[in-house]
């Protein structure tokens, strides 16, 4: 059974269709990349999966259960977490307090045992020495690691990441991708990453989904997707090495 699947999902905003009849599945424990040009519907797709938006038509299924009408809060309780391009931190709190806040919003809120120990999270995100630091003082890479740590503290089975590499240089990207790999390999968490930087996506993703104009285009391994001339030229632009 796939971890999550979308069946004929359409998302309308008035007469405008942001997504049209999108169907695909996400395998348990995979890193799935989502790419496509600006305005393709990537963020809408992510929000339909995480509960930020309710699909106008079609179904979202998680672990065999239809979750289409459920809010983001309810989905977080089921084990679906999300991180944002601009790190949403509680800036006046310390790094440690941000992680505890994640735990309060996640499994503890639904009375489930914590899925991941704080020690494990600190080891994975390399935040152990920074617990007392105010989150507001962290640099961008550290802020992204804190946000990932807070998402992990909710005890997720699945994390959706919206352009997590935005604003990072090549060295920081390599560092952050390492952390994401460790999260998947150590904890078995499914990761879905919406990202403009397709070369970085190809390095980490097991499969890449391409959407354009809100429609499914292709879903396959990075080798196949990025060697498809049609995809490269029309959907990623010729300079897809950014």
Q: What is the CA radius of gyration of the chain?
A: 17
Q: Which residues of the chain have pLDDT under 70?
A: 84-91, 105-115, 234-242
In the numeric block, which tokens belong to residue 12?
């309308």
pLDDT tens-place string over residues 189-203 = 999 999 988 889 999
Query: Mean pLDDT of all residues in the chain?
Result: 88
- What is the C-alpha separation between 175 and 177, in angstroms, rounded? 6
Query: Which DSSP string corresponds to 199-232?
Result: HHHHHH-SEEEEEETTEEEEEE-HHHHHT-HHII
**d(Cα 97, Cα 89) in Å, to the nearest integer?**
10
Structure tokens at 189: 């968490």
Q: pLDDT tens digits, residue range 37-66?
A: 888 999 999 999 999 999 999 999 999 999
Domains annotated on the chain, with CATH: 4-236 (3.40.50.300)
Dihedral of CA atoms 58, 40, 239, 181 in degrees, nearest 10, equals -50
């Amino acid at each position: 059974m796939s971890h999550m699947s979308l069946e004929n999902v359409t998302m309308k905003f008035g007469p405008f269709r942001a997504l049209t009849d999108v169907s695909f599945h996400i395998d348990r424990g995979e890193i799935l990349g989502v790419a496509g040009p600006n305005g393709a519907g990537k963020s809408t797709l992510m929000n339909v999966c995480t509960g930020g938006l309710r699909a106008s038509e079609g179904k979202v299924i998680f672990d065999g259960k239809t979750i289409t009408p459920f809010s983001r809060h309810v989905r977080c309780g089921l084990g679906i977490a999300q991180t944002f391009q601009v790190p949403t931190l509680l800036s006046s709190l310390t790094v440690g307090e941000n992680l505890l806040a994640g735990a309060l919003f996640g499994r503890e809120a639904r009375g489930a045992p914590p899925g991941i120990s704080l020690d494990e999270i600190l080891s994975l995100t390399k935040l152990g020495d920074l617990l007392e630091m105010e989150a507001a003082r962290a640099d961008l890479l550290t802020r992204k690691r804190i946000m990932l740590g807070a998402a992990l503290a909710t005890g997720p089975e699945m994390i959706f990441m919206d352009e997590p590499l935005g604003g990072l240089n090549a060295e920081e990207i390599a560092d952050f991708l390492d952390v994401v790999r460790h999260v998947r390999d150590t904890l078995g968490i499914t990761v879905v990453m919406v990202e403009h930087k397709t070369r970085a996506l190809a390095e980490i993703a097991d499969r890449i989904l391409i959407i354009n104009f809100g429609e499914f285009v292709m879903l396959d391994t990075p080798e196949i997707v990025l060697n498809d001339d049609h995809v490269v030229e029309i959907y990623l632009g010729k300079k897809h090495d950014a």
